[in-house]
Amino acid sequence: MNSEQHPYHCNDISKQTGMVVKTVGMHTGGGPLRIVISGFPKIVGKTLLDKRQYLLDHLDYQRRILLLEPRGHDAMYAAFLVEPDLPEADMAVLFSYGETCSYMCGYATIALGRFAIDYGLVKGVSPETVVKIQCPCGLVATKVQYDDGKTGATRLQSVPCFVFATAVKVNVEKYNEVQCDIVFGGTFYAYADISQFGLNFGTASVKDIIAVSMTTTKAVSSLVKPYHPELTEASYISGTILYENSLMENTPVKFMLVYGDRHAERSGCGSGSCGFLALLHHKGLIRVDELKTFVNGKTQSQLTGRIVKTVTVKELPAVITEVSGRAFYTGECTYYCEDDDTLPFLQLK
C-alpha cells in the first residue's frame, strides 16, 4: 500500500479548534527552528522591541502552546515573522524559546536567510543573495549561496560584538572560585573554561554540563550587571558557555552553551561563536579575516567564523563578525489547540 492508497479519513480538525498555526521546520547543526508562517495572532507594536514585549505580555499563552510539550520540547526555538520598522530590512523576526523571547539566535538567523529566498520573501540572485534581517539586537545580514534556483550555505554578519569584562572571579556553588569572561555576541554570555569544574566534554554528561552552567549563570548574574550602551533591554546574562582548551591560536573552539532554564545548545551556536571571536580578538589571539572553527562539545556540530572589521559601540571597542553554516528543512506542520484542550502545554522541571 502506498501513501496515496491509505484507507484513513479524518474530518476537518480545523473546524473543531480555536487555534490553527502553520509552520516550517528547519535546523542548523541540529539546532531546531519552528518558523511561524500563518495562523498566529497578530503581533503589534511600533518598533520590533515593542512587538517583542507585546508577544510576552498579550500572547504568551499561545506562544507557549507552540514551544512547550506536547507540541514542542525543551530545545525548541521559534521564529515569529513580523513587519520590520527599519526601511533597509527585508524581514523582521522575534526569537522565542520556552520561557521567553531572546534578542538573538545565530543558528536561527542562518536558517531564516535560506527560508527567505526559498519562500519568496527575497528574490534569489546568483551566486549569493543578501537577506537583511531585523533582529531584536539590531540589523544583521545573511549571505546565502544561490545557484540555479537552489540555496546552500549561509554567512551571517553580526551586529557589533564586544567584551564587557574579563577574568571575573565568582564563587560557584560546590566549585568555589571560578573565572569567567562576559561578552556580547547579540546577547550577553558568561564564558568559562570547563576544566575549572573538573569536567571535560568527552566524559561529562549533558546533565552535568547543564547543572554547572546554570549554577554559573546564577552566580555571575548576582555579581555582574553587563551593560549595552545602545540596547539596554538586553543588559543581562542570558546563559553560560563552557569551553575546553579553546583560547589558543590555530585550534578549533570546542564549547557548549546553556541558556534560559536548562536549554542545552545543539548547534555550533552562532551568537556564542560571534562572542568568542570578539573575545579572541580582545586577547590578541585572532586577526581580522582569520578563519576559526567552532565545534559543539557534545554534538560535534560546526560553524566557521571570522572577524570582518573593528568598530566601536559608543566608546567600547567592538568587532563585526561573520559565521558560516548550513540550514536544512525538517518539514512543514500545522499545529492545533482545540478549545476544550485542558492541558495545552507542559513544562516539567
Residues labelled as active-site residues: 105
Helix ranges restricted to H, 167-307: 206-223, 270-282
d(CA 35, CA 232): 27
65 near 41, Cβ under 8 Å? Answer: no
d(CA 132, CA 123): 12
| Nearest residue to 330 (alpha-carbon basis) of 24, 21, 3 | 24
d(CA 241, CA 182): 10
78 near 263, Cβ under 8 Å? Answer: no
Count Cβ atoms within 10 A of the Cβ of residue 349 and give its class: 0-12 exposed, 13-18 middle, 19 or more buried: exposed
d(CA 73, CA 32): 10
What number of other Cβ atoms are within 10 A of residue 338's Cβ?
12
